[in-house]
Amino acid sequence: MSRKDEPNDKYCMVAVIFFILGLGTLLPWNFFITAIPYFQYRLQPENTFVNTSDLSENGTSSEGARSSGDEFNFSNWMTLLAQLPLLLCTLLNSFLYPCIPERVRIAGSMLAILFLFIVTAVLVTVQMSPQSFFDVTMATIWFINAFCAILQGSLFGLLALFPQKYSSMLLSGQGMAGTLAPLAMLLSMSSGTDVRTTALGYFIAPCFGTFISIACYLLLSRLEFAQYHISKSNAKSSQNYEVDTDAELLQKGTEKEVNGDAEGQKKAVLLLKEAESGVAGEEKPKVSICVVLKKIWVMALTLVIGFTVTLSVYPAITANVESNTENKTWRKFFNPVCCFLIFNIMDWIGRSITSYTLWPGPDCKYLPLLACCRVIFIPLFMLCNITNRNYLTTIFSHDAWFVIFMILFSVSNGYCISLPMCLAPKKVEQHEGEITGAIMTFFLALGLSLGAALSFVFKALL
C-alpha cells in the first residue's frame, strides 16, 4: 500500500487506544502508592477490620498503631521493589524482546497485571498476619512492576511504527493515570463504608481499567489505520523481494543484450544500479553506545539526578506528613489531596511546559545543576509536620507550607524529567535515535532505583 493510500484514523480510535494503553501502564504504580494508608493499617499488630470512623486521619487506628505499621518501612520497600524490576527489565530488553513476539509481551503482561490486581483485591478480605501480608504484598509489587516495565518498553517499540502524535497520546495517558488513582481513593474514602469495602472497591477499579486496556489492544490490530502502520515492520522483507525481482529482470535484460538488443542492455544497467541502491539502503549505519553517550551524557545525568531527588522523598517522606488542623474531615483527606493529587496534577503541568519551551536548550551543559537545585526540597519535606521522628524537629508545621513545597516540587519534577527526554534526540543523528531511547530509559530506571534506595537513609534521619 502506498502512502497515497494511507487510511485515516477514523474517529481518532487509534489515538484513544494509545491514550488508554498509556493509562494502563502506570495505573498499578499509582494505585499502590496512593493506598499507602491502607497498607500501613493492615500492617498493624491488631489486624482486624473496623469502621472507617475508627481510623485516624491517615488510615490507622492510633498513633501507636501507625508506628507499628511503619516499622516495616512499607513505603520505602514498596518504592525500591517497584523500581528495581524496571532497572532489571531495561537491562534484559535486548535479550528478551527478540525472543518473545510483541503480541505475547503486551497482551501477556496486561493479563498478568490483571491477575495480580485481582489477587490484591482478594487479599483485602483475607485475614493474615502483618508479616505474611507484607511479604505477599511486596512480591505482588515486584511482579506487577516487572510486567509493567515489559509492557511499557514493548508499547514504545510499537509506537515507533506510528506518527509522533501517538507517542504524545500514550504519554498523556500515563499522566492521567497519576490523577485517577488519588481521585479513586478520595471517592472510596468518601463513601463512608468500612475499611474492607473501601479498599475492595478501590482495588477493583484498576482491574476494570486493565481489562479495558486489554480489549483496546486486541481491537488495535483490527483497525485499518493501525494495520497499515504495523505492516511497515515487514518492509525489509518486501525490499528483499524487490531486489530479487530486479535480479530476475536483470538476467532477462542481459539475455537480450547477448542477442544484440541494445535496449535490453540499457535496462540491465539501470536495474543493476537500482538493485545496488536497494541493498545499500537496507544497510544501517553502525551505532556506537559510547559515541551516543558522549553526546547525551548531560541529559542522562540530569534525568538521573531528577528522579533520584524525587524518589528519595516521594512517597517515603511525603506520605508521612500530617495535617496540623483540628478538622477531622480535612485531616482524613489531607494526604490523598495534598500529597498525591496535587503532585500528579502539578507534575503533568510541568511536563506540559516542555511543549512550549525547552529552556535552556540542548547545548547547555548546566542542566544537571538545574536538577540539583531541587535537592532543597529534601530537608524542606523532612522538616514538615511528621509525628513519628527521632532526631529532627518540625519547623514547617502549617499545612500551607507543605502544599507550597509540593506544588513547586511536582512542577519542577515534571519539567526536569521531561526536558532531558525531549532534548536528547536533538543531540544525535536520526539513525542513533533507537539506541538513544534505550540509554535514556536505562538512566531513568537508574535514577528511580537510586532515589528509592536513598529514601531509607532519609527516613532513618527523621
| Residue 79's CATH number | 1.20.1250.20
CATH number of the domain that residue 401 is part of: 1.20.1250
Last residue of a domain, one of 178, 200, 222: 222
Whether residues 183 and 240 share a domain: the answer is no
Whether residues 327 and 429 share a domain: the answer is yes
Q: Report pLDDT for 138.
A: 93
Residue 209's domain comprises 1-222
3-state secondary structure of 455: helix
Q: At what angle do helices 13-34 and 102-123 cross, to 10 degrees?
A: 40
Whether residue 452 contacts residue 82, with contact meaning beta carbons closer than 8 Å, is answered with: yes
Residue 228 lies in a domain: no
Whether residues 265 and 310 share a domain: the answer is no
Q: Report pLDDT for 96.
A: 65
Whether residues 185 and 323 share a domain: the answer is no
Whether residues 403 and 272 share a domain: the answer is no
Residue 179 lies in a domain: yes
Whether residues 84 and 146 share a domain: the answer is yes
Q: Report pLDDT for 158.
A: 81
Whether residues 276 and 295 share a domain: the answer is no
Q: Report pLDDT for 133.
A: 92
Whether residue 65 contacts residue 46, with contact meaning beta carbons closer than 8 Å, is answered with: yes
Tell me the pLDDT of the chain (462 aa) as tens digits: 445 567 888 888 999 999 999 888 888 888 888 888 888 888 887 654 444 344 444 444 434 434 444 678 888 899 888 888 888 877 776 566 667 888 888 999 999 999 999 999 999 988 889 999 999 999 999 999 889 888 887 887 787 778 878 877 887 788 788 888 888 888 888 877 777 788 888 888 889 989 999 999 999 989 989 888 877 654 544 454 444 444 444 444 444 444 444 444 444 444 444 444 444 445 557 778 889 899 999 999 999 999 999 999 998 999 999 999 989 889 989 988 999 999 999 998 988 888 788 888 888 888 999 999 999 999 999 999 998 888 999 999 999 999 999 999 999 998 998 898 888 888 888 777 767 877 887 888 899 899 999 999 999 999
CB atoms within 10 A of CB 271: 20
Whether residues 25 and 101 share a domain: the answer is yes
Cell of 413: 519534577
Whether residues 275 and 340 share a domain: the answer is no
Q: What is the pLDDT of residues 71-128, one digit of tens each?
A: 788 888 998 888 888 888 777 765 666 678 888 889 999 999 999 999 999 999 888 8
Of 177, 197, 198, 176, give the one whose Cα is nearest residue 187: 198
Residue 435 lies in a domain: yes
Whether residues 113 and 186 share a domain: the answer is yes
Quote the Cα angle for 207-211-213, to 5°.
120
Residue 230 lies in a domain: no
Whether residues 19 and 133 share a domain: the answer is yes
Q: At what angle do helices 289-313 and 433-460 cross, to 10 degrees?
A: 30
Q: How far apart are CA 137 and CA 130, in angstroms?
A: 10
Q: Report pLDDT for 97.
A: 64
Residue 300 lies in a domain: yes
Residue 206 lies in a domain: yes
Residue 315 lies in a domain: yes
Q: Report pLDDT for 184.
A: 86
Number of domains in the chain: 3
CB atoms within 10 A of CB 43: 23
Residue 123 lies in a domain: yes
Whether residues 177 and 271 share a domain: the answer is no
Which residues, in sequence order, are CB contacts of 187 under 8 Å at separation 6+?
A: none
